[in-house]
């Protein structure tokens, strides 16, 4: 058998260690999965990127932190302590032998499948707080990466003090390091109202909750709890801009009023964090009752990649699940049992209460998100970046403008989206490639869902008819030096000098033989490279 020496055949990767079960995310679902897996006799590695480095938070990764974090975040040891206090199960799991890695982000899952089949098994890329990255071999992965918030552009939304409500709740409860003390909240989804309750418990004053619709999105019971806290819900309202100066946010402008506040929290929809799954090649679909784009799930949280399962918020978000973390925990245990089964180990018995792991009511988050974007879109002027990283305005996205640094406005006619699309549905990746919206260092975390909604609005489509710009690894920004392997296979370097290395590809056309045969390669030519 001949192998092409320039191909991947025979090249190895630098795998630092192996685990049978890899759990990504140490929230309720991930913790329960790790416990179930270790109890079932598997070797288990549990990674969580919290505590996230201050600088990373500054880039809106992985949450819309929006400059809401206090300076104490810089003290990573203290933050790790805090996290262990907040999640005592971590210590228990450590005792039972789970390889726990905190402050460690999983930036890629790599699984052989059709037409990607050279890797020595399934691999995860991990990056730790000190910047080093390593590859870990795994047999089964359970992804429990949770949720983040959807962004919404308005004048001033790029100022520190405007962030996501889940991010704020994480800062308040996990880190005890939330800067804002008086917040106005946008949106009334169940997750938002539940976060409001957590924030109030943590001592934050919620001045008001703004809702563009005629009534709150969450059900009456939850709304009653908010009302009991004395927090006004202003329906039929929307945001017109933030008041800010060099000290940060000092208020929010609504249609007719202004409210003083030091932070504005976006709560128009908790988004399942599917970045890792999608970048690995897992198929995703829009499901309005599960919070947006979610992995296509089979039994036991299985995805379209056989050894990758999803549990908790990243598998779907809905009201009753958000209200009771036992649902996510059960998803974690079910996924772990399936992983144990796939490993040929005994599956433990599920002693804890059975919680339904299907959405309760069919709340359509798609329509709701579109409505929010609709209420701000008309007021977005040519100075409000929808994509903050690349500074792209709404009109530039909808008219598919080349980026401003090309100075092409003078000689290029603006196009309509329809001219770009022809008959097909809008493709956010195509729009991203041409306008650069979503191409920046936050990897589209702030604008991805907004751009999707804008395109759906423009083309008068349901939100789910428009895809999301795809995620690509590394799903966390990672420096060139940190991404580099510690020990590279010498075989890699030996064959790495130029494009494919085909002996006749770069031979000048005037020197090429009339007939090409493999046998003719025996004649050495002074073959050049590209």
Partner 1 sequence: MSRSEQAERLGEDERVAGASVVIIGGGVTGLSTAFWLADAGVDVLVLERGVAGWEASGRNGGGCTHPQSPLFNEEQRLWPMMDQILGYPTEFQPKRIRMALSPQQFELYSRSVRNSQQQGFEVDALDAKEVRDLVPLAGDTVYAGHLYHFGGHANPHRTVQAYAWALADRGGRLRQHVAVTGFTTAGDRVTGVQTDKGIFSCDHVLIAAGPQTGRLAGLLDVAIPLRTARAEMIVTEPLPLMPIGGTDGAGLYGRQTLRGNLAYGGGPHEWVETEEMPTANRPSTPLAGNIAQRVAQLFPKAAHAKVIRSWAGIIENTPDGRPVLDQPEPWANLTVATMSGVGFGLSPATGRALMQLIMHGQCDFADLSTLRLERFAELEPDWDALQGWLPREVAAV
Please report, as residue ranges, which positions from 262 to 321 form the binding site for partner 1 (by CB under 8 A).
278-281
Q: How many residues make contact with partner 1 (CB under 8 A)? A: 92
416 part of the interface to partner 1, by CB under 8 A: no
Among 301, 440, 461, 522, binds partner 1 (CB under 8 A): 440
530 part of the interface to partner 1, by CB under 8 A: yes
CA distance readout (Å), 469 to 111, 351, 403, 427: 21, 41, 18, 8
Residue with tokens 């598998």: 315
Among 130, 245, 383, 497, binds partner 1 (CB under 8 A): 497
72 part of the interface to partner 1, by CB under 8 A: no
CA distance 107 to 490: 25
Identify the DSSP state of 244. Answer: E
Closer to partner 1 by Cβ: residue 221 or 529: 529
481 part of the interface to partner 1, by CB under 8 A: yes
Tell me the three state secondary structure of residue 347: coil
Hey, which residues between 223 and 242 contact partner 1 (CB under 8 A)?
none
Closer to partner 1 by Cβ: residue 96 or 520: 520
Instruction: Candidates 95-103, 112-120, 145-153, 228-236: pick the segment binding partner 1 (CB under 8 A).
Output: 112-120
Closer to partner 1 by Cβ: residue 333 or 476: 476
Burial of 379 (0-12, 13-18, 19+ CB in 10 A): middle
CB of 446 to partner 1, least distance (A): 14
Hey, which residues between 366 and 395 contact partner 1 (CB under 8 A)?
390
490 part of the interface to partner 1, by CB under 8 A: no
CB of 209 to partner 1, least distance (A): 34
Instruction: Candidates 189-197, 223-231, 251-259, 412-420: pick the segment binding partner 1 (CB under 8 A).
Output: 412-420
215 part of the interface to partner 1, by CB under 8 A: no
Q: Are strands 133-143 and 122-127 parallel, antiparallel or unpaired?
A: antiparallel
Closer to partner 1 by Cβ: residue 220 or 528: 528
93 part of the interface to partner 1, by CB under 8 A: no
Among 41, 91, 116, 220, binds partner 1 (CB under 8 A): 116
418 part of the interface to partner 1, by CB under 8 A: no
Q: What H or E segment, with its residue span, contains residue 375?
A: helix 365-377
For residue 413, what are the contacts with CB-CB under 8 A and spacing of at least 6? Answer: none
CB of 348 to partner 1, least distance (A): 32
CA distance 350 to 30: 16
CB of 444 to partner 1, least distance (A): 9
Instruction: Candidates 87-95, 109-117, 146-154, 367-375: pick the segment binding partner 1 (CB under 8 A).
Output: 109-117
Hey, which residues between 8 and 37 contact partner 1 (CB under 8 A)?
8-9, 11, 13
433 part of the interface to partner 1, by CB under 8 A: yes
Among 228, 331, 427, 437, binds partner 1 (CB under 8 A): 427
Contact (Cβ atoms closer than 8 angstroms) between residue 293 and residue 274: yes
CA 100 to chain centre: 22
Comparing CA positions, the residue from 365, 177, 183, 179 lying closest to residue 270 is 365
Hey, which residues between 442 and 471 contact partner 1 (CB under 8 A)?
443, 470
Hey, which residues between 128 and 187 contact partner 1 (CB under 8 A)?
133, 135
CB of 448 to partner 1, least distance (A): 13
Residue 23: strand pairing partners:
46, 142
Closer to partner 1 by Cβ: residue 362 or 410: 410
Comparing CA positions, the residue from 35, 53, 37 lying closest to residue 95 is 35
CB of 11 to partner 1, least distance (A): 6
Contact (Cβ atoms closer than 8 angstroms) between residue 248 and residue 66: no
What are the CB-based long-range contacts (under 8 Å, 24+) for 169-174? 169/195, 169/198, 169/199, 170/50, 170/63, 171/65, 171/68, 171/69, 171/70, 172/198, 172/199, 172/202, 172/204, 173/86, 173/198, 173/202, 174/50, 174/82, 174/83, 174/86, 174/87
What are the CB-based long-range contacts (under 8 Å, 24+) for 412-420? 417/455, 417/458, 417/459, 418/459
326 part of the interface to partner 1, by CB under 8 A: no
């Amino acid at each position: 058998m001949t192998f092409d020496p320039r191909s991947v055949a025979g090249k190895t990767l630098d795998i630092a260690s192996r685990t049978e079960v890899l759990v990504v995310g140490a929230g309720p679902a991930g913790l329960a999965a790790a416990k179930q897996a270790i109890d079932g006799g598997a070797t288990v590695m549990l990674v969580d990127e919290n505590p996230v480095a201050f600088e990373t938070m500054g880039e809106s990764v992985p949450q819309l932190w929006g400059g809401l974090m206090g300076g104490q975040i810089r003290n990573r040891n203290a933050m790790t302590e805090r996290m262990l206090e907040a999640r005592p199960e971590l210590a228990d799991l450590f005792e039972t032998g789970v390889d726990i890695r905190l402050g460690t982000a999983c930036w890629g899952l790599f699984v052989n499948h059709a037409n990607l089949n050279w890797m020595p098994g399934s691999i995860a890329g991990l990056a730790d707080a000190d910047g080093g990255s390593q590859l870990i071999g795994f047999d089964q992965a359970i992804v429990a990466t949770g949720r983040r918030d959807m962004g919404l552009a308005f004048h001033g939304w790029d100022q520190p003090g405007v962030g996501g409500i889940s991010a704020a709740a994480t800062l308040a409860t996990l880190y005890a390091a939330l800067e804002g003390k008086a917040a106005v909240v946008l949106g009334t989804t169940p997750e938002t109202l539940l976060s409001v309750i957590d924030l109030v418990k943590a001592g934050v004053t919620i001045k008001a909750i703004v809702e563009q619709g005629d009534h709150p999105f969450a059900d009456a019971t939850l709304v009653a709890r908010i009302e009991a806290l004395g927090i006004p819900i202003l329906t039929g309202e929307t945001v017109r801009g933030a008041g800010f100066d060099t000290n940060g946010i000092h208020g929010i402008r609504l249609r007719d009023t202004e409210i003083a506040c030091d932070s504005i929290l976006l709560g128009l929809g908790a988004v399942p964090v599917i970045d890792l799954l999608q970048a690995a090649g897992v198929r995703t679909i829009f499901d309005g009752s599960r919070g947006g784009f979610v992995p296509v799930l089979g039994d036991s949280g299985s995805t379209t990649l056989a050894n990758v399962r999803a549990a908790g918020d990243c598998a779907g978000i809905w009201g009753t699940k958000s209200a009771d973390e036992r649902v996510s925990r059960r998803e974690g245990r079910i996924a772990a049992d399936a992983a144990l089964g796939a490993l040929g180990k005994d599956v433990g018995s599920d002693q804890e209460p059975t919680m339904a792991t299907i959405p309760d009511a069919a709340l359509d988050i798609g329509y709701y998100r579109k409505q929010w974007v609709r209420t701000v879109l008309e007021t977005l002027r040519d100075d409000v970046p929808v994509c903050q990283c690349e500074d792209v305005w709404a009109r530039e996205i909808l008219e598919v403008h080349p980026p401003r640094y090309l100075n092409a406005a003078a000689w290029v006619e603006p196009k309509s989206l329809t001219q770009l699309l022809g008959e097909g549905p809008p493709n956010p990746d195509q729009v991203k490639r041409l306008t650069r919206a979503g191409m920046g260092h936050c990897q589209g975390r702030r604008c991805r869902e907004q751009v999707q909604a804008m395109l759906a609005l423009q083309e008068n489509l349901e939100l789910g008819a428009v895809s999301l710009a795809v995620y690509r690894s590394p799903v966390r920004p990672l420096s060139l030096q940190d991404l580099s392997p510690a020990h590279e296979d010498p075989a890699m370097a030996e064959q790495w000098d130029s494009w494919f290395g085909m002996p006749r590809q770069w031979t000048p056309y005037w020197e090429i033989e009339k007939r090409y045969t493999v046998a003719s390669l025996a004649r050495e030519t002074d073959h050049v490279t590209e």
